[in-house]
Amino acid sequence: MIPIPPPPPAIIAPAVEPRVAAPERSVDTASDLRIAAALTDARVRVDSGFSGATIVLYGAVFNPGDQPTDVVVVVRGPDAPVRLVKKTRNMGVWLNSRPVLFEGAPGFYMTASTRPLSDIADFGQLRRLGVGVDHLRIDAPEETRTVTRYGVRDVVVSRLGEDYLDWRRAVIRLREAAALYNTDPAGVSFVDRGLFRAEVELPTTAPTGIYNAEVWLFQDGDPVSVSNLTLTVEKVGFERNVYEFAHRQPWLYGLMCVLLAAMTGYLASRLFRRF
Amino acid sequence: MDIYLPIAEVSVNWAVLVMLGALVGFVSGLFGIGGGFLMAPVLVFLGIPPTVAVASQASHVVASSTSGVIRYSGQGAVDYRMGGIMAVGGAIGAFAGVEVFRWLRLLGQADLVVALSYLLFLGSIGCLMLYESLTEILRQRRGEPQTRKDRRRPMWLYGLPFKLRFPRSGLYISVIPPIGLGILVGVLSAIMGVGGGFILVPAMLYVLRMKAGVVVGTSLFQIIITTAITTVLQAGRNQTVDIVLSMILVVGGVVGAQIGARFAGKFRAEELRAALGLIVLLVGMQMGLDLFVRPSDLFLFAPGISDG
């Protein structure tokens, strides 16, 4: 039997122009060194049982050659201003200095890497990328300026110079003590050739908001590829309702707290009278 | 056992909080004080931010004081007129105190002022109470006759205008001293996060010279009003009241307060005063010690940036 050729189509569909993603990836993964990563959970729900969270970040290095590569994971929480005071001794009594305001320090910052950061890339490179707690950009204006806030004169907004470094280090040290800043030089482990994982440990004091995770791939001290992820930490359910109520209608909320407390006191005294 | 507190934004063991509430409630019922000066340091030690601790425990004071007042009221031991007049002063003081506290936090000097007030007020009052009650106990041991108390009232206090009769307290005095006392306690209540009973009780006894029987009930009544206002102000102005934290403390507190009030009848007044004086003195010294001991870290975070 000779197969009958199919009838020619009436209209020939125009060839579809290849869009962006699919072919590009196949090209890239075919040759270039590249990194990709994902989080097991991109939303952390803070409810009454919240006692910190551990999120696993996993990813793959495509086309690892013979050249050794390093992976660095940087997670930073939402920025918030920080006020710091220094205790100084005056006539035998420890007093607070005037507070210094840092206008933006991440509320959470962690790095995890395959090796200590100083072995992976040089100082300049890390500083340029803002990778590592020592290279963290804590926004502070260039020169000392004093402003008036809430009628308080001479609030020092920033103080640069060698003094500034002490203050900066103190921010980091205090945050590290609270487990909010963390450096783990062995936090990224390779499960298999090209496949790695890292853990992000959020303490209960971790601020809510949007977190950014950068996963860097370094080779010979230079960043080769980066993958950006976002992580949301948010209050849910009862916790969220209470928080929003307390901030949207603070006066009503306060009144409710007092009435609830007074009612409880009243009920208790009624109950105890029986005995 | 851990519970996450929505405003404090930390996770704490709720059983510990209930126990703490009950213990402070017991002390509060026993001595007729709010007990805030005991609770704030412990809450801070548990990792709760000081601003939230100070604001949230105020409603614990409201609950245990309500429960106490109802008990004393049954015995006719509350002078509502005196308490009400002092509460007017307390309200004025609380308004001023919350604003002063905001300003101090901005200056970064809130810690210093809190530590100094604790050292000054608790230290001096603790010493006075301890001295007075110990001499009384010693005198009784020796079987000496009761010394005639100096009932002469200071002229500057009793010569003031706007006199009012307070039958339950056995007084006929101007309203200015009670209002002034109320203002002082209101300011302290906002700054130190305390009800101010440890100042009110001795002041009512030794300065206003009220009948001893109504002092505790009346001070508790005044404390309810002042701390209720402080709580609403802190919530409205600073958003630092954690309802979950305060309710956990309240539940323990009201039970403790009832037991404490029951026990109060079993001890002599001067023995109670000696014990309270000792506690007050110790807490004052502990808080004041921070001023003289080299801190482990010279730097620390200053709270109060959310609206900076």
Output the pLDDT for position A25: 46
Give the distance from residue B297's alpha carbon to the nearest chain A alpha carbon, in angstroms.
8
Identify whether A11 is part of a domain: no
Residue A83 shares a structural domain with residue A137: yes
Output the pLDDT for position A275: 53
Residue A45 shares a structural domain with residue A112: yes
Which of B9, B105, B251 is most worth mutating to test chain A (most A CB atoms within 10 A of its CB)?
B9
Going by C-alpha positions, the residue among A113, A48, A262 that lies closest to residue B229 is A262
Q: Is pLDDT above 70 for B141?
A: yes
A94 bridge partner residues: A89
> Which residues in B lie closer than 8 A to residue A171 (C-beta atoms)?
299
Which of A264, A266, A271, A273 is most worth mutating to test chain B (most B CB atoms within 10 A of its CB)?
A264
The H-assigned helical ranges of B46-122 are: 50-74, 80-107, 110-117
The Cα B160–Cα B157 span in angstroms is: 6
Residue ranges making up the domain that contains A258: 236-275
B143 half-sphere exposure, CB direction, 13 A CA radius: 0
Using CA of residue A129, residue A135, residue A136, residue A138, what is the dihedral sign?
negative
pLDDT tens for A59-93 read 888 877 777 888 899 998 888 877 777 777 777 77
Contact A101 B305 (CB under 8 A): yes
Identify whether A138 is part of a domain: yes
> Which residues in B lie closer than 8 A to residue A101 (C-beta atoms)?
305, 308
Identify whether B306 is part of a domain: no
Task: Confirm or reject contact between A56 and chain B (CB < 8 A).
Answer: no
What's the average model confidence in pLDDT over B10-36? 82
Answer for the pair B22, B255: CB distance below 8 angstroms, yes or no: yes
B26 or A149: which leads in pLDDT: B26
What's the average model confidence in pLDDT over A34-56? 85
The Cα A49–Cα B243 span in angstroms is: 16
Identify whether A144 is part of a domain: yes
Q: Is pLDDT above 70 for B150?
A: no
Residue A227 shares a structural domain with residue A248: no
Identify whether A22 is part of a domain: no
Output the pLDDT for position B154: 61
What's the average model confidence in pLDDT over A121-147? 71
Task: Confirm or reject contact between A246 and chain B (CB < 8 A).
Answer: yes
Question: Which residue among B3, B231, B301 sits closest to A84, beta carbon to beta carbon?
Answer: B301
| Residue A18 banded pLDDT, cuts 50, 70, 90 | very low
pLDDT-wise least confident of A10-14, A260-264, B72-76, B214-218: A10-14
Answer for the pair B224, B91: CB distance below 8 angstroms, yes or no: no
The Cα B100–Cα B110 span in angstroms is: 9
The Cα B227–Cα B209 span in angstroms is: 24
The Cα A124–Cα A181 span in angstroms is: 21
Percentage, residues of chain B above pLDDT 90: 0
Residue A41 shares a structural domain with residue A128: yes
Identify whether B73 is part of a domain: yes
Identify whether B135 is part of a domain: yes
Helix axes B80-107, B212-233, angle to 10 degrees: 40
Contact A87 B237 (CB under 8 A): no
Residue A65 shares a structural domain with residue A197: yes
Identify whether B170 is part of a domain: yes
Output the pLDDT for position A150: 56
How far is residue A206 from each of residues A210, A268, B51, B291, measured CA to CA in Å? 11, 37, 18, 30
Output the pLDDT for position A23: 44
Residue A83 shares a structural domain with residue A135: yes
Identify whether A266 is part of a domain: yes
- Look at chain B and report how many structural domains it folds into: 1
> Which residues in B lie closer than 8 A to residue A172 (C-beta atoms)?
none
Q: 64-83 in A: which are within 8 Å (CB) of B? A: 80-83
Identify whether A12 is part of a domain: no
Q: Is pLDDT above 80 for B131?
A: yes
Pairing relation of β-strands A195-202 and A79-90?
Answer: unpaired
Q: Is pLDDT above 70 for A38?
A: yes
pLDDT-wise least confident of A53-57, A124-128, B192-196: B192-196
The Cα B59–Cα A261 span in angstroms is: 6
**What is the three-class DSSP state of A270?**
helix
> Which residues in B lie closer than 8 A to residue A173 (C-beta atoms)?
297, 299
Residue ranges making up the domain that contains B139: 2-289
Q: Which residue has tokens 């990792």? A: B47
| Residue A41 banded pLDDT, cuts 50, 70, 90 | confident
A113 bridge partner residues: A72
- Look at chain A and report how many structural domains it folds into: 2
Give the distance, in angstroms, between the CA of residue A3 and the centroid of all CA atoms in the same chain: 65
What's the average model confidence in pLDDT over B7-21? 85
Residue A165 shares a structural domain with residue A188: yes
Give the distance from residue A148's alpha carbon to the nearest chain B alpha carbon, in angstroms.
11
pLDDT tens for B47-84 read 787 778 878 888 888 887 887 788 778 777 788 888 88
pLDDT-wise least confident of A233-242, B63-72, B164-173: B164-173
The Cα B43–Cα B246 span in angstroms is: 11
pLDDT tens for A201-230 read 888 888 888 999 999 898 888 888 888 999
Going by C-alpha positions, the residue among B275, B247, B246, B248 that lies closest to residue B260 is B275
What's the average model confidence in pLDDT over B224-235? 85
| Residue A274 banded pLDDT, cuts 50, 70, 90 | low
Output the pLDDT for position B307: 37
Output the pLDDT for position A187: 86
How far is residue A119 from each of residues A70, A72, A115, A136, measured CA to CA in Å? 10, 12, 7, 18
Residue A52 shares a structural domain with residue A97: yes
Output the pLDDT for position B151: 55
Task: Confirm or reject contact between A95 and chain B (CB < 8 A).
Answer: yes
The Cα A8–Cα B175 span in angstroms is: 108
Output the pLDDT for position A246: 85
pTM, two decimal places: 0.71
Identify whether B137 is part of a domain: yes
Residue A154 shares a structural domain with residue A217: yes
Question: What does the block give as tokens for A92?
Answer: 């035998």
Residue A243 shares a structural domain with residue A140: no
Residue A59 shares a structural domain with residue A148: yes
pLDDT-wise least confident of A200-214, B138-152, B276-290: B138-152
Output the pLDDT for position A146: 53
Percentage, residues of chain B above pLDDT 70: 90
B81-95, B207-221, B253-267: which is most confident: B81-95
pLDDT-wise least confident of A103-117, A157-171, B35-49: A157-171
pLDDT-wise least confident of A116-125, A158-167, B46-55, B199-208: A158-167
Q: Which residue has tokens 């929480």? A: A77
Q: Report the CATH number that the domain containing residue A42 is assigned in CATH.
A: 2.60.40.3880
Identify whether A83 is part of a domain: yes
Q: Is pLDDT above 50 for A255?
A: yes
Identify whether B270 is part of a domain: yes
> Which residues in B lie closer than 8 A to residue A51 (C-beta atoms)?
2, 4, 11
Q: Is pLDDT above 50 for B157?
A: yes
| Residue A8 banded pLDDT, cuts 50, 70, 90 | low
> Which residues in B lie closer than 8 A to residue A208 (C-beta atoms)?
9
Give the distance from residue A109's alpha carbon to the nearest chain B alpha carbon, in angstroms.
17
Residue A209 shares a structural domain with residue A275: no
Question: Which residue among A96, A170, A238 sits closest to B109, beta carbon to beta carbon?
Answer: A96
Going by C-alpha positions, the residue among B216, B253, B207 that lies closest to residue B64 is B253
- What does A99-124 look like in DSSP terms, one character per residue? -EEEEEEES-EEEEESS-HHHHS-HH
Going by C-alpha positions, the residue among A178, A96, A116, A166 that lies closest to residue A138 is A166
Q: Tell me which H or E stretch contains B10.
A: strand B10-13
Task: Confirm or reject contact between A243 and chain B (CB < 8 A).
Answer: yes
Q: Is pLDDT above 80 for B165?
A: no
The Cα B130–Cα A28 span in angstroms is: 82
Identify whether A10 is part of a domain: no
